């Protein structure tokens, strides 16, 4: 029988497209939060590269916070149970909060995060997601800043993984099945 493996074959969003879009998002966010105190919340691990690049395009004195949830368990299908692995929330109270996430798929992770952070008395909560798969949405979550809308394909790179691999690719690629002999 032919052997196959998942492999990031075709580039969906290039390095330069990512860079340009993040510059635009940074400008917009800087304008919208002018003269305000903003906490940028990184959702580990997928959002790390996006978070680091976006933060440097925002011309405001930011605070950083890091949260981690788990739901995926090595597969390409989202499980419906979401748990916290790390909850850091010291800085959120009475401040504007912007959640920075790699991708919004069913919407369950972001809904969970908004509910959690909302219970900590922030001044406001908004969402910035690099990628959005609108066709997969199961629960409604308002995405205030969105990098790119993508079709229903599984993507890796620029922070996103498959079985923890490929996060370091500098672009976003579609995971495809290739044959190995
Ligand atoms: P949601 O809770 O279904 O919206 O899923 C959000 C999480 O699922 C993201 O933070 C990612 O970690 C993961 N995810 C969803 N789609 C993809 C994908 O295409 N590639 C890699 N991870 C994904
Ligand atoms: Mg994630």
Judged by its nearest atom, the ligand closest to the C-alpha of residue 150 is 1
Which ligand has the nearest atom to the CA of 140? 1
Active centre residues (catalytic) = 105
pLDDT tens figures, 105-158? 999 999 999 999 999 999 999 999 999 999 999 999 999 999 999 999 999 999
Residue nearest to atom 5 of ligand 1 (CA): 105
Q: Is residue 80 scored above 70 in pLDDT?
A: no
DSSP state of 144: S
Nearest ligand 1 atom to the CA of 162 is 21
Give me ligand 1 centre to Cα 102, in Å: 8
Q: What does each C-alpha distance from 163 to 8, 73, 89, 156, 175 come to in angstroms?
A: 13, 8, 28, 10, 12
């Amino acid at each position: 029988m032919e052997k196959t493996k998942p492999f990031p074959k075709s580039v969906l969003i290039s390095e330069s497209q990512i860079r340009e879009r993040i510059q635009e998002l940074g400008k917009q966010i800087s304008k919208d939060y002018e003269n305000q105190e903003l906490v940028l919340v990184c959702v580990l691990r997928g959002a790390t590269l996006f978070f680091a690049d976006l933060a440097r395009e925002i011309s405001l004195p930011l605070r950083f916070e890091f949260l981690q949830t788990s739901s995926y368990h090595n597969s390409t299908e989202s499980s419906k149970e979401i748990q916290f692995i790390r909850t850091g929330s010291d800085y959120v109270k009475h401040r504007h909060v912007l959640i920075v996430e790699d991708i919004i798929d069913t919407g369950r992770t972001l809904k969970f995060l908004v509910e959690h952070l909302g219970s900590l008395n922030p001044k406001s909560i908004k969402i910035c997601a690099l990628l959005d798969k609108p066709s997969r949405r199961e629960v409604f979550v308002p995405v205030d800043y969105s990098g790119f809308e993508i079709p229903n394909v599984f993507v890796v790179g620029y922070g996103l993984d498959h079985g923890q691999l490929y996060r370091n690719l500098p672009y976003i690629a579609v995971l495809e099945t290739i044959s190995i002999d």
